[in-house]
Amino acid sequence: MKILYPSMLAKYLSKEFMSSLFVVFLVFFSLVLMINLIGELIYLKDIKLENFISLAVILTFAKTTTTIIELSIFIFLFSGILFFVKIRKNNEINTILLSGVSKILPIAVPAIISFIFGMFIIFFLTPFSSATLNFYEKEKRTYSSNDNLIMMNDMGLWFMESKADGFNIIRADKIADNNFSKLKNVTIYNLDQKFNFIKRYDSDEVLINQKKWLLPKAQITQDAESLSSEDKKNETIVQNLSFSSSIDINKLKNYFTDVNTVSFWKILNTIKTLNTRGYSAEELRVKFHKYLSLPFYLFGMILVSTTFTMGPNKQYNTFMYLFFGTILGVTVYFLNDLSISLGLSNKLPLAASVWSPVFLIIFLSAINLIRINER
């Protein structure tokens, strides 16, 4: 009889888990590709581009990596379920026990592999996914009906608003209120369609209500050549100057909170930069902790997948296991989303709102594993 050493069993279990992971990954990857491709085809078809099919394929692949990372906890959850169902139905647990190895080994091997994959995702895959998503959003803006541009650098916040008769270039030092209702030290350059200077508006602040912009005290500087012969003064002060802008403040906020465009390596610097511009960047702080917790989350998904695959004495058919897995995945998602919502509403510390579901999952799963090992 061939002796089964723990190293041999670990190698075999690793191979089986990687096989299950590959199958589940292909299923999720195919579904994501199909859904994203249909969405891009519909979007680009409405724009009526000639090469919309090839462009839709490129945009689909550019977006898919980010989506797969977002779904990674579910990929590893179903991979764990498939792996444990397979070794249980093949009665391999008894073979492992007869070899004198603990029942924890087939759980520890995929859990450790998942943790390593989590480290790989945050350190190596997120820079790639953030770059492809930036490319995706840049391309979508090219074909979008909105010609407004938004950017941030060391000189402040910059917006370029496209109008029928020209352009407005808006620069602000920082955001006074985190909800973008007030910009401080604002300069607005009014240009014609050929980018020739017409007017400049300077104000200590701009109050924003939806698309209505109010300058409480604006200094207006006009182009001297455009002044009439009677008016020799090119600088005037106007109280409560207001104008309508096509820049949607809600979209402006979304631009600064699109956390998936920032890789793990740049996220702390981005938070620091946003803070200097008056934005709290709470969503980025949540994303940073989600990145840090991902290896532990994937580790926990393997542990939680043993709840109804290794624990119960009764075996179910494959569809029942998939059903249980779906219910479990929805529960985990709801718990995680609820906890983060409490953090963003200041009812929990942000770090605790991300980490508490992870620790809860691992703790409850560990209790279940102790019961399994005692049988």
Q: Is residue 260 part of a domain?
A: no
pLDDT at 15: 93
| Number of compact structural domains in the chain | 2
64, 74 contact by CB (below 8 A): no
Residue 106 has pLDDT above 70, yes or no: yes
Residues 6+ away with beta carbon under 8 Å from 189: 168, 169, 170, 171, 197, 199, 200
138 and 161, same domain (yes or no): no
Contacts of 342 (CB under 8 A, 6+ apart): 348, 353
- Within this chain, do residues 215 and 229 fall inside the same structural domain, yes or no? yes
Question: Is the pLDDT at 222 greater than 90, yes or no?
Answer: no
Question: For residue 94, is pLDDT > 80?
Answer: no
Q: How would residue 304 be classed by pLDDT, with cut points 50, 70 and 90?
A: confident
Tell me the pLDDT band of 185, cut-offs 50, 70 and 90. confident
Domain boundary among 245, 269, 290: 245
For tokens 């300077």, the residue is: 202
Q: Name the nearest CA neighbour of 60 among 37, 42, 76.
A: 37
State how far the Cα of 334 lies from the Cα of 101, in Å rounded to an integer.
37
Residue 191 in any domain: the answer is: yes
Task: Give the number of residues written for the chain.
Answer: 375
pTM of this prediction? 0.78
- Is there a domain that residue 252 lies in? no
**Shared-domain flag, residues 138 and 236:** no
> Which residue type does 66 have?
T
The Cα–Cα gap between 175 and 208 comes to 11
Residues 361 and 298 in one domain: yes
Q: Are residues 241 and 291 in the same domain?
A: no
* 219 and 333 fall within a common domain: no
Residue 1: pLDDT band with limits 50, 70, 90:
very low
Question: What is residue 93's predicted lDDT score, i.e. its pLDDT?
Answer: 67
Task: Tell me, yes or no, whether 339 lies in a domain.
Answer: yes
Angle formed by the axes of helices 282-304 and 72-89, nearest 10°: 0
Lowest pLDDT segment from 60-69, 126-135, 199-208: 199-208
Of the given ranges (2-6, 128-132, 323-327, 346-350), which has the lowest mean pLDDT?
Answer: 2-6
> Residue 49: left (phi > 0), alpha (psi -120 to 50), or beta?
beta
Whether residues 114 and 153 share a domain: the answer is no
Which of 83-92, 149-158, 291-300 is the most confident on average? 291-300
**138 in the same domain as 14:** yes
**Which of the four pLDDT bands, split at 50, 70 and 90, describes residue 5?**
low
Whether the pLDDT of residue 284 is over 70: the answer is yes
Mean of the per-residue pLDDT values of the chain: 81
Q: Is residue 166 part of a domain?
A: yes
Residue 270 in domain: no
- Do 294 and 237 share a domain, yes or no? no
Residues whose CB is less than 8 angstroms from the CB of residue 38 and which lie 6 or more positions away in sequence, other chains included: none
For residues 108 and 166, membership in a common domain is answered with no
Is 190 inside any structural domain?
Answer: yes
CB 208 within 8 A of CB 246: no
For residues 206 and 329, membership in a common domain is answered with no
Q: What is the model's pLDDT at position 110?
A: 93
Distances (CA, A) of 64 to 41, 67, 79: 15, 5, 19
- Rounded to whole angstroms, what are the CA distances from 83 to 65, 79, 89, 163? 24, 6, 10, 58
Task: Check: CB of residue 159 under 8 Å from CB of residue 148.
Answer: yes
108 domain-assigned = yes
Q: What is the pLDDT of residues 343-373, one digit of tens each?
A: 878 888 888 989 998 998 888 888 877 776 6
* Residues in Cβ contact with 287 at an 8 Å cutoff, skipping those fewer than 6 apart: 259, 260, 262, 267
Per the structure, the complete domain to which residue 138 belongs is given by 6-143+279-374
Q: How far is CA 356 from CA 5, 11, 305, 328, 333, in A?
A: 37, 33, 19, 17, 13
CB 137 within 8 A of CB 150: no
205 - beta bridge partners?
184
